[in-house]
Structure 1
Amino acid sequence: MTDFAVRLITEAERRSTFDLLSRSLHSNRVSDEDWSRYGESWPAEHKFAAFDGDVPIGVASSYETEIAVPGGRVLGVAAVDGVGVRADWTRRGVFSAMMAAQLADVAARGLPLAALHASEPTIYGRFGYGSAALGKTAWIDRPAARLHERVPAGGRVRMLTPDEAVKEIPGLYQRIGLHRAGMMGRPEVWWPIMHDRLAGPDGHHVTVVHSGPDGDDGFAVYATVDRRTPESPDKGVMLKVRELHAADPVARAALWRFLLSVDLVSGIRARFRPVDEPLAAMMADHRHALTADVEDDLWVRLVDVVAALDARTYRSAAPVVLAVVDRKLPANAGHYEVGPSGARRTEAAAHLTLEVDTLAMLYLGEWSATALAEVGRITARDSAALARADELFTTVTAPWCGTYF
């Protein structure tokens, strides 16, 4: 018997649970002024908390939005945007109980997928989440870096005022659209805390927009960090790119060209960029654009396996039968035939056996079946089945989320 209870929070508990999450993630409690501005981004809906009596000791939050999957379809997804446990209640089953309640709720609401960015990656595989999209950290050396002369050019880039950034960017993000697998919709509750707080009148980020022949088609959000010290007074400013979204290569190139033109900058750092973004190829000297790091970014959980598998497209290969093991949602366990015509449950013998977290690693196309088999995550009856799965699940464009939450 536990000495705590897990339930959905009430409207009156929004502030206390947000403060709890902030402290568990080693941030300060939100001020009254900031809560009045951004508190609506923390609605009570879909937030589970663990309580010791009436006192919250843990919280697991999500909001409902959309995610693009390979082939271009958009599915409903629970975006898990905050999980934390008070320090004196850790390792007592609070986290597991909240995650189980959240997962059961997502399944009951009929959402086929859940997704998160993992602060502690090793714990989420136990709940069926797999590392489904990677992100790279790009470092561009300034002032030496410049674009190659044949990189496309066109349109113009303008800088927005903070008020314009709050007003214009949500619509522009929607117009650009979810054009890569892994990209996610941004509902109204997302914008105040994740964009307005940084790029609006009280923030310190700069927003620029590219306009092409058909209007606005790309934007970037960045901040600057002074790297000068008494020992290195000429080190200069680092430009940190938080976001860069573009509808086409011309808009993307124009935004990078603008960032490279900012004066008094000694380097540009952009974290969680698409791993296949061709920054080095865009440079006159590709050594001036380095990949400083590649790390896990988006973690995905297939909540309704057959619905999720059938929603994406597959390349041309003979079907494979997957035996899926799901210890948290047993209704998902079973055999699934996956091929160019889609996915369905089957009684046929399995070619490949895997846990649902490994299936998530395959799902958006980031990892190959062969690689996952080599490290023991997939058991195969024969190598031919692995080769077919590689062909079926691979994607031409790497998956990418591009949204903090």
Structure 2
Amino acid sequence: MESVQFCDIPESGIDRALSLAYLVFHETPEEEKRKHHHDLLRDCTRIGAYENGELVGFVAAFPFTVSVPGGELPCPCLTFVSVAPTHRRRGVLSGMIAELFARAAADGSPIAALWASEDAIYGRFGFGPATYGHTVEIDSRRPLALRITPDDRPLRLIDPTDAPALLAEYYDRTRTERAGRIARGEAWWREEWLVTEDQEDDELSPPRVVVLGAPEGPVAGYAIYRTKTRDDAPGLVRLDELEADTPAAEAALWRYLASIDLTGLIRAWGRPVDDPLHLFAADRDQVRVTGEFPALWLRLIDVRAALTARSWAAPVDTVLDVRDDRLPANAGRHRLTASPDGCTYESTERPADLTVEARDLAAAYLGGTRIDALVRAGLATELTPGTAAALDAALHTARLPHTVDEF
């Protein structure tokens, strides 16, 4: 790898980088999609791997902010990770990610994140699956059976061009209630959530936005969805996002989606694992979870900074022996002393109470993976009985972390 150099890709090199990415991912996008990608990458960190002036690797990172328990942190989010097929297994990917980690640390970003195209790749770089999503299907050929009474406030369809101004404040407020959620600027709303033609399925309608609450009152919830007619089956409602203040408000939105004329199936991708729909649906044959998948993968670039930045639900005083081959500054024994009042994390010579790899600590960081589950799976070792239970109580969050913004 000595002949490979890692440096910024200038804006003039974006098209070349995209060509490499399309080669790697076997894509031939239309001009509109390519322009969309080009526009996104202008605002990203872009790291290239060059050999003799030829681009042989490419990684970009969105400068996102992600909610964590009790606050939020800057978080470079990796995308377009690509290595030329002629240069696989030559350290190109390792070099690019090491360069990105170094820049994140210099910029004061203690975490990084990605969506994994191949799960097997990213664990070795210290990423762990920190949020999970459900795919849910609802048979809406009959009225949606519910165990609770839906909110009776009015529902109204709004023009998608007006949605960012109306929904952004609501989204920002609700974003703090779950860890793992990305702050959205107006451009992200328009270019990712409300683009007229769906990038994956051009048979889907433009986005529809339904809001719960009178125009003169506060927003109590919203749903973004698209519809599609099907020759061999009832029409489809594809739900992209649904947010609500209360179970009754959520029930009102689900009931609306299930009552759209000429449709018979709702397919919702990326719903929270602890979605209250699973409990208030009266017929679980009608509302089915058809899949579960890891969503946001997290990397603790600076374990001390990450742990001291989040809130803690209960007191814990323990010594962690963290294993981290990629970022040795994180490795070793550290005393974690945390409570709802704050947290310290300092090197210590005391014996360890728990040994854990950085990737598994990252998976537990947002509250979505239990330490005792890691111990039972043989991925962490509890040396002092009760340590895992104490850590789980301290890491607990009222709602499971959730991410639906894919990048």
TM-score by length of 1: 0.89
TM-aligned CA deviation for residue 170 of structure 1: 4.6
Change (3 A) 1:38 1:115: closer
Change (3 A) 1:26 1:303: same
Q: Which residue of 1 aligns with 2:206?
A: 205
Alignment of 1:315-334 (within 5 A): 315-334=313-332
Q: Deviations over 1:180-219 (max 9, x none)?
A: 0111112455345422435699983322131426333433
TM-aligned CA deviation for residue 118 of structure 1: 0.8
Contact 2:356 2:379 in 1 (8 A): yes
Q: Distance in 2 between matches of 1:177 and 1:212?
A: 19
Q: What fraction of aligned residue pairs are identical, expressed as a percent?
A: 33
Which residue of 217, 221, 224 corresponds with 1:218?
221
Change (3 A) 1:5 1:145: farther
Contact 1:145 1:285 in 2 (8 A): no
2:20 alignment partner AA: L
1:345 alignment partner AA: E
1:17 aligns with 2:17: yes
Change (3 A) 1:53 1:166: farther
Contact 2:61 2:79 in 1 (8 A): yes
Q: Deviations over 1:345-365 (max 9, x none)?
A: 141322001111010111111
Q: Which residue of 1 aligns with 2:109?
A: 111
Change (3 A) 1:171 1:49: farther
Alignment of 1:177-216 (within 5 A): 177-187=175-185, 190-198=188-196, 204-212=205-213, 214-216=217-219
Contact 2:130 2:363 in 1 (8 A): yes
Q: Deviations over 1:26-85 (max 9, x none)?
A: 222451x55556632211641111223333222111111211112x31111111132122
TM-score by length of 2: 0.89
Question: SS of the counterpart of 1:236?
Answer: strand
Contact 1:41 1:189 in 2 (8 A): no
TM-aligned CA deviation for residue 134 of structure 1: 1.0
Q: Distance in 2 between matches of 1:372 and 1:294?
A: 19
Q: Distance in 1 between matches of 2:362 and 2:159?
A: 40
Q: Distance in 1 between matches of 2:166 and 2:53?
A: 42
TM-aligned CA deviation for residue 152 of structure 1: 3.3
1:150 aligns with 2:159: no
Deviates more, 1:245-254 or 1:11-20: 245-254
Report the RMSD for the aligned CA atoms in angstroms.
Answer: 2.6
TM-aligned CA deviation for residue 403 of structure 1: 1.4
2:24 alignment partner AA: S
Q: Distance in 2 between matches of 1:44 and 1:153?
A: 41
TM-aligned CA deviation for residue 108 of structure 1: 1.4
TM-aligned CA deviation for residue 120 of structure 1: 0.7
Contact 1:118 1:124 in 2 (8 A): yes
Contact 1:128 1:356 in 2 (8 A): yes
2:269 alignment partner AA: R
TM-aligned CA deviation for residue 11 of structure 1: 1.3
1:5 aligns with 2:8: no
Which residue of 66, 88, 91 corresponds with 1:90?
88
Deviates more, 1:129-138 or 1:262-271: 262-271
Q: Distance in 1 between matches of 2:249 and 2:276?
A: 14
Contact 2:247 2:276 in 1 (8 A): no
1:397 aligns with 2:395: no
Q: Distance in 1 between matches of 2:37 and 2:23?
A: 17
Q: Which residue of 2 aligns with 1:130?
A: 128
Change (3 A) 1:350 1:303: same
TM-aligned CA deviation for residue 324 of structure 1: 1.2
Q: Flag structure 1 segments of 5+ consecutive residues without an equivalent.
A: 230-234
